[in-house]
Amino acid sequence: MNNQYKTLKNQVKIPSIGLGVYLMEPGDQTRCAIQYGIKAGYTHFDTAQLYQNEQSVTDALNGLGIKRENFFITTKINRLNHGYDNAIESYQQSLDEAKLKYFDLLLIHWPEGPIRKETWKALEHLYREKRCRAIGVSNYTIKHLEEMKEYAEILPMVNQVEFHPYLYQKKLLNYCQKNDILLQAYSPLTHGEKINDEKLSKISLNYNKTNAQILIKWGLQQGLVVLPKSTKEHRIQENFDVFDFEINNNDMDILNSLNENLRTCWNPSNVE
């Protein structure tokens, strides 16, 4: 199976599918999922301080003898760790626990409130110090991103948001593309809510693929980095087996018309 990459505006390459590890238990469950992931071809892993499994992810990778430069790992500053000093201290703790010199990508998990400006200054500092290879945000709306132009010295390279055909955030996607911010799709499988939708199943039949594979491929064809999560070996494999087909324009149009503003996770629209 063929991995593919996107290039961030600072030229860092990022594999276009990452294994999400949200709600994976630290310890054996996370370690097994990472092992299955590596076997299937994943080299990109999406964790967060909130998930409490940063250490399990890197333990698994080290246990497999994967060289540091051969995997891409993201973490995110937790909501409780906003503020300049808190962000830096908590990030150092994440590095220590994961026994890493750097994460590849460091994100602010949630826009929180005015304090996000201080937190961003901390990320800029960490980036300049080369303690991460790229910085970005998560759950930021256009309003939050526009505001960054007023206070940021380095603009975000990534915005990670919920994105799937049932939450087709086209305006946000256009904005990010125009501003050279790579959009990452979290909950690309709708957290399981729409995985058996009949409209989706009809399209899957055309390609002899599963509904999950269609959802992931749709995200890739939108130009996104896609972050599906599973703990099961056969699904982890299935979710990566999407590089041997293309969804045609007609079916893309049908998928593009499924939007119902469905949010399966957080809604940041009202965060001031």
Ligand X SMILES: NC(=O)c1ccc[n+]([C@@H]2O[C@H](COP(=O)([O-])OP(=O)(O)OC[C@H]3O[C@@H](n4cnc5c(N)ncnc54)[C@H](OP(=O)(O)O)[C@@H]3O)[C@@H](O)[C@H]2O)c1
What are the two backbone dihedrals, phi and then psi, of residue 16, each rounded to the nearest 5 degrees? Answer: -75, -15
Alpha-carbon distance of 218 to 228, in angstroms, equals 13
Q: Which stretch binds ligand X (CB under 6 A): 4-12, 18-26, 125-133, 242-250?
A: 18-26
Nearer Cβ to ligand X, position 189 or 203? 189
Q: Does 154 bind ligand X (CB under 6 A)?
A: no
Asked if residue 138 binds ligand X (CB under 6 A), the reply is yes
Which of 6, 9, 22, 35 contacts ligand X by CB under 6 A? 22
165 touches ligand X (CB under 6 A) = no
Comparing CB distances to ligand X, the nearer of 51 and 65 is 51
* 160 binding ligand X? (CB under 6 A): yes
Print the SS3 string covering the chain. Answer: CCCCEEECCCCCEEECECEECCCCCCCHHHHHHHHHHHHHCCCEEECCHHHCCHHHHHHHHHHCCCCHHHCEEEEEECHHHCCHHHHHHHHHHHHHHHCCCCEEEEEECCCCCCCHHHHHHHHHHHHHCCCEEEEEEECCCHHHHHHHHHHCCCCCCEEEEECECCECCHHHHHHHHHCCCEEEEECCCHHHCCCCCHHHHHHHHHHCCCHHHHHHHHHHHCCCEECCCCCCHHHHHHHHCCCCCCCCHHHHHHHHCCCCCCCCCCCHHHCC
Give 83 or 165: the residue with its C-beta nearer to ligand X. Answer: 165
> Which residue is it, tokens 């989706």?
200
Nearest residue to ligand X on Cβ basis: 20
Choosing from 80, 192, 246, 256, the residue that interacts with ligand X (CB under 6 A) is 192
Nearest to ligand X of 31, 109 (CB atom): 109
Q: Which stretch binds ligand X (CB under 6 A): 15-23, 98-106, 114-122, 244-252?
A: 15-23
Round to whole Å and give the CA distance between 265 and 267: 7
The reply on whether position 189 binds ligand X by CB under 6 A is yes
**Among positions 44, 209, 217, 229, the unique one binding ligand X when judged by CB under 6 A:** 229
Cβ proximity of 234 and 23 under 8 Å: no
Amino acid in the structure at residue 267? N
By C-beta, is 43 or 160 nearer to ligand X?
Answer: 160
Candidate list 42, 51, 127, 186, residue with the active-site label: 51
Closest CB 54 distance from ligand X, rounded Å: 12
Residue of the chain from 123, 145, 173, 212 that contacts ligand X (CB under 6 A): 212
**Shortest reach from residue 13's CB to ligand X, in Å:** 19
Contact flag: residue 265 with ligand X (CB under 6 A): yes
To the query of whether residue 127 is one of the catalytic residues in this protein, the response is: no
Active site residues: 51
- Point out which residues bind ligand X (CB under 6 A): 20-22, 46, 109, 138-139, 160, 186-192, 195, 210, 212, 227-232, 235, 238-239, 265-266
